[in-house]
Structure 1
Amino acid sequence: MFEKEKLEKAQEGDLKSIEEICSTTWGALYRFVYFKVQNREEAEDITQETYVKALSHLQKNNIRLDKYIGFLRTVSLNVLRDKWRKKKREGIDVNFENVNPEATALKDPTENFAQRMLIENALNRLNEEQRVVVELRIIKGYSVDEAARIMNKKEGTIRVLQYRALQALAKILNDNDQ
């Protein structure tokens, strides 16, 4: 992580320390926010806004080093809640003349549930390494480098595992369709 000295320098306004803290914590915070919003652009915006608010607060108050990541997550949740509240207040403009009732009708929730169960069953049929690499890379959005570190493997091995896992998954899903 980062040392107490960097945090203290950042509180004093040292740009290099602030930049190092941001680059060190960016990946973890972005993944946390992305998990909440499931949209890359929105996650990037919220993560950036989190740093702006957190750094201004950091310079006014003393934050303990061991609590800094938790502090960033709390700030990001507050930013996210503010955005949701603002969207709720603004509402959505709808031109009823352009609305197609068939296209906007709610889908059958049992269909979504059935698709989800089908995918879960297919994932469970993969071997352990393949399932883990799909979860890390596809579901959780980790980079190849991060997945390699987590699985204690080389990046090339992760790429091959992912390729083979996706091929096996496609075959399993195609077999279920027939």
Structure 2
Amino acid sequence: MISADDYKKAKEGDLKAIENICVVTWEPLYRFIYYKVQNREEAEDITQETYVKTLTYLQKNNAPQKNFLGFMKTVSLNIIRDRWRRKKRAGVIVNFQEINPEETVNIDEQNDIAQRLFLKSALAKLSQEQQMILDLRIIKGYSVAETAKLVGKTEAAVRTAQHRALLALARILDDEG
């Protein structure tokens, strides 16, 4: 949680306050961006660009103090959309005579795809509630309190459900793997 004092000092350019804001928001912001782009390098670039823009907004008094992380996620989504538009507009020129089919499919990519499909099929075997809690907590990076509000349960119930869902997922992966 970003303190009002850190927020005020960051507006004034205090590096320690800016660092505190970065420490508090980095992990959930990076997870959110990575979930959207599915590429580590691109997620890191977008995260960095998001910090530059949001801190500029903050120092110009254009950033909200309430739900600053939500504001940062909105900025990151706009950056992602801009990048997609630029890629779409620029296009890619491909010379099909120079392509070697054996080199086009990377073994690591095949393994990543296979692992994702394997994990997706294992997740599908969990109950809807377990899937939702794992999605909110692990994939989307929501806190226990935020998840509890969204699913209408207590924080303790969310922690218990998450633990049980992870145990069930581990059993499924062991049985199938």
Q: TM-score, normalised by structure 1?
A: 0.64
In structure 2, relative to structure 1, the CA distance for the partners of 1:25 and 1:119 (3 Å cut) is: closer
Work out the CA distance in 2 between the residues paired with 1:49 and 1:9. Answer: 21
Q: Which residue identity is paired with 2:13?
A: G
Match of 1:69 in 2: 69
Work out the CA distance in 2 between the residues paired with 1:8 and 1:47. Answer: 22
Q: 1:19 offset after TM fit, Å?
A: 0.5
Match of 1:151 in 2: 159
In structure 2, relative to structure 1, the CA distance for the partners of 1:165 and 1:68 (3 Å cut) is: closer
In structure 2, relative to structure 1, the CA distance for the partners of 1:125 and 1:32 (3 Å cut) is: closer
Unaligned regions of 5+ residues in structure 1, if any? 105-114, 143-148
Q: Percent of aligned pairs with the same residue? A: 49
Work out the CA distance in 2 between the residues paired with 1:85 and 1:126. Answer: 37
If asked which structure has higher relative contact order (CA below 8 Å, sep 6+), I would say 2
**Greater radius of gyration (CA):** 1
Match of 2:25 in 1: 25
In structure 2, relative to structure 1, the CA distance for the partners of 1:41 and 1:124 (3 Å cut) is: same
Q: TM-score, normalised by structure 2?
A: 0.64
1:99-154 residue CA offsets vs partner (Å, 9 max, x unmatched): 478x98xxxxxxxxxx969954x4354589xx66x946xx7286xxxxxx97369x
Q: 1:74 offset after TM fit, Å?
A: 1.4
> Equivalences for 1:93-132 in 2 at 5 Å?
93-99=93-99, 119-120=120-121, 122-125=122-125
Match of 2:109 in 1: none
Match of 1:87 in 2: 87
Work out the CA distance in 2 between the residues paired with 1:93 and 1:76. Answer: 28
Work out the CA distance in 2 between the residues paired with 1:118 and 1:79. Answer: 29
Q: 1:54 offset after TM fit, Å?
A: 0.9
Aligned residues: 150
Would you say the 8 A contact 1:123–1:169 is kept in 2? no
Match of 1:140 in 2: 139
Match of 1:108 in 2: none
Work out the CA distance in 2 between the residues paired with 1:89 and 1:28. Answer: 30
Match of 1:37 in 2: 37
Work out the CA distance in 2 between the residues paired with 1:6 and 1:36. Answer: 29
RMSD, aligned α-carbons: 4.0
Q: Which residue identity is paired with 2:88?
A: K
Would you say the 8 A contact 1:33–1:46 is kept in 2? yes
In structure 2, relative to structure 1, the CA distance for the partners of 1:118 and 1:140 (3 Å cut) is: closer
Q: 1:57 offset after TM fit, Å?
A: 1.6
Match of 2:112 in 1: none
Would you say the 8 A contact 1:30–1:43 is kept in 2? yes
Q: Which residue identity is paired with 2:97?
A: E
